[in-house]
Amino acid sequence: MTPEQQLETLTRGAVDVVSREELLEKLRRGKPLRIKYGADPSAPDLHLGHSVPLWRLRRFQDLGHTIVFIIGDFTGRIGDPSGRSRTRPMLSEEEVRANAATYAAQVGKILDISRCEIVYNSQWFSEMAADGLLRLAARYTVARMLERDDFAKRMGAEAPVAIVELLYPLIQAYDSVMVRADVEVGGTDQLFNMLVGRDIMRAYDMEPQVVMTWPLLVGTDGHEKMSKSLGNYIGVTDPPGEMFGKLMSIPDALLPQYLELLVEMPAEEIAQLQQDMAAGAVNPRDIKDEMARRIVALYHGEEAAQQASEEFRRVFSQRELPSDMPEIAVSAGDLVSGKIWLVRLTTVAGFAPSNSEARRLIRQGAVSINDQIITDENAEVEVRTGDVLRVGKRRFGRITVKPGD
C-alpha cells in the first residue's frame, strides 16, 4: 500500500487521530512504526471490549509495523482513574502478577505474538528511584492535570482525588518514552492519558506519538461500558457456548455497535439492517445468530461456532436441555430430610459468587429446579440425583447426591 492507502486503512472507524498529518508523515518515511498498546492486569481476563483496539492493532501488524504490548504490572497496582468516580483500591503485587500470567496467551488470539514485543512496565519503574519520579513529575503541571474531566467532576462534587491518581497519566506517558512509541492506540477513555504521553515525549526531546482512539464497547447490560467488575463482559477465553449465549443475550439496540466494532460490517450494511428490523422484515434474533457465529469463529474456529449455534437453538428455541451439563455434587451430609437451602445449592453449583447474589437471583425468578421456578429465597428444596438446576438462561447443572462423610 502507499502511505495514503495505509492511512485510510489504519484510521478507519477511529474516533480520534492526533494527528492524521503526523501519522501520514511517519508512514511516508517507509520504516516500520512502533505501535504501543498497554493493558493493566486489574482482572485476569481480557474481554471483547479489549478486542476492539487489538483488532485495529492487527491492521498495523499486517502492514509490517511492530506492536509493543505493554502489560502494566506496575500501573495495574495503582489502577487507571479513567471514568472512575472514586479512587480504586490498590492491588498487591501478587494479585497483579496472577492476573498478568495469561495476558500474552489471550492477546495471541488476535495478534501474532511471535511478531510482538511484550514488555512489563515494572522493568523500568521498579528501578526508578524517588529522584527519578520527582524529575518526571516536574515535567507536568497540576493545572494541566486538573483539566481532565474525571478529576474536575470529582473535585466539583468535593470527592477526593488521590495524589497517586494524578501520577497515573504521567507513569503511563513515561511508558511511551521507554518504548519509543510512534503511535499509541486505545479506547476513547484513554485520550487524556495518551495526550499526556505526547507532552512527556516532547519534554524528553522525542518526537511525540500519534494518538488513536476507538469507541468503547457497551456491555451486555446495554448501559455501561464492558467491564469485568460490572459483570457485563464477554471474555475472549469464554467457552464457545457461553460466548455465543452472551452475544445472543445483548439488547437489540446494541446490534449496530457490535456489528461495527466486533465484525467490522460496513456502515451502509448496518444502516440497511436497521431499516429492515424497524420494518419487521428481519428478525433481530437471526442477525444476532449470524453475528455470534462470526465472533465465536474468530476465537474458537468455524466448527465450534456452528456447534454453539445449533446447541443454542436446540436449548432455547426448542426448550430442550443442553446435551452436556456440568455435575453439581451435593453431599448427603448437607441435606436435612433430603432438602437443602436453595441459596446454598446455587452457590455450591458455582452459579452465584455469594449468598447475597444467589438471593437476588432467586427473588428475580431466575432459579428453577426441573423447570419449577422458585422465588422464595428461604426455600428448602428436595433434591435427588438427576435433578436439573437452572439459573438464568444459560447456566444448567445436573445434581448428583454423594454419600456424606
Give the pLDDT confidence of 256-296 residue by residue, as tens digits: 999 999 999 999 999 999 998 888 888 888 999 999 999 99
Q: What is the pLDDT of residue 85?
A: 40
Task: Write phi, then psi, for 375 (nearest 5 degrees).
Answer: -110, 0
244: its cell numbers: 455465543
Q: Which residue has the cell 422465588?
A: 375
Q: Bridge-partner residues for 369, per DSSP?
A: 372, 389
| Contact (Cβ atoms closer than 8 angstroms) between residue 107 and residue 113 | yes
Q: Bridge-partner residues for 382, per DSSP?
A: 339
- The CA distance from 187 to 16, in Å, is 10
**Mean pLDDT value of segment 7-29:** 95
Q: What is the pLDDT of residue 87?
A: 45
Residues 331 and 313 in one domain: no
Residues 57 and 179 in one domain: yes
Give the pLDDT confidence of 159-216 residue by residue, as tens digits: 777 787 888 889 899 999 999 999 999 999 889 999 999 999 999 999 999 999 999 9
CATH number, position 335: 3.10.290.10
Residues 69 and 103 in one domain: yes
The DSSP line for 85-109 is SSPPPPPPHHHHHHHHTTHHHHHTT
Q: When comparing pLDDT for 397 and 371, which is higher?
A: 397
- The CA distance from 185 to 17, in Å, is 10
Q: What is the pLDDT of residue 9?
A: 94
Residues 163 and 304 in one domain: no
353: its cell numbers: 459468587
Q: What is the pLDDT of residue 205?
A: 95
Does a structural domain hold residue 322? no
Residues 179 and 96 in one domain: yes
Does a structural domain hold residue 264? yes
Range of the domain at 310: 240-317
* Dihedral over Cα of 254, 258, 264, 265: its sign: negative
Q: What's the structural domain count of the chain? A: 3
How far CA 356 is from CA of 103, 232, 392, in Å, comes to 31, 18, 16
On the question of a cis peptide bond just before residue 19, with omega within 30 degrees of 0, the verdict is yes
Query: Strand pairing of 210-214 and 16-18?
Result: antiparallel
- The CA distance from 90 to 76, in Å, is 8
What DSSP character marks residue 129? Answer: -
Does a structural domain hold residue 100? yes
Give the pLDDT confidence of 206-256 residue by residue, as tens digits: 999 999 999 999 999 898 999 877 778 999 989 999 999 999 989 999 999
Residue 372 pLDDT exceeds 70: yes
Which value, in Å, is the radius of gyration of the alpha carbons in the chain?
24
Q: What is the pLDDT of residue 317?
A: 61
Residues 71 and 131 in one domain: yes
Query: Strand pairing of 367-369 and 372-373?
Result: antiparallel
Which of 299, 317, 335 is the endpoint of a domain? 317
CB burial of residue 323 (10 Å; 0-12, 13-18, 19+) = exposed
42: confidence class by pLDDT, cuts 50, 70, 90: low
Alpha-carbon dihedral angle through residues 248, 54, 222, 295, given to the nearest 10 degrees: -10
In single-letter form, the type of residue at position 110 comes to I
Residues 139 and 74 in one domain: yes
Residues 100 and 195 in one domain: yes
Task: Write phi, then psi, for 58 (nearest 5 degrees).
Answer: -60, -30
- The CA distance from 6 to 2, in Å, is 6
Q: What is the pLDDT of residue 89?
A: 57
Give the pLDDT confidence of 46-84 residue by residue, as tens digits: 899 999 999 999 999 999 999 999 988 887 766 555 544
Residues 335 and 358 in one domain: yes
CATH number, position 286: 1.10.240.10
% of residues, the chain, pLDDT over 90 = 48
Q: When comparing pLDDT for 17 and 122, which is higher?
A: 17
Residues 78 and 108 in one domain: yes
Residues 180 and 288 in one domain: no
Residues 307 and 376 in one domain: no
- 3 state SS of 217: coil
Does a structural domain hold residue 257? yes
Q: What is the pLDDT of residue 84?
A: 47
345: its cell numbers: 445449592
Name the strands in the sheet holding 116-120, side by side, starting at the edge strand that comes first in the sequence.
16-18, 210-214, 183-187, 34-39, 66-71, 116-120
| Contact (Cβ atoms closer than 8 angstroms) between residue 4 and residue 35 | no
Does a structural domain hold residue 230? no
Residue 88 pLDDT exceeds 60: no
Q: Which residue has the cell 443475550?
A: 249
Mean pLDDT of the chain: 87
Q: What is the pLDDT of residue 186?
A: 94
Does a structural domain hold residue 228? no
CATH number, position 154: 3.40.50.620
Residue 86 pLDDT exceeds 80: no
Global confidence as pTM: 0.72
Give the pLDDT confidence of 320-340 residue by residue, as tens digits: 677 778 889 888 877 888 889
Number of continuous H segments (helices) and E segments (strands) in the chain: 19, 13
**Mean pLDDT value of segment 133-152:** 82
| Contact (Cβ atoms closer than 8 angstroms) between residue 181 and residue 35 | yes
Does a structural domain hold residue 181? yes
Does a structural domain hold residue 384? yes
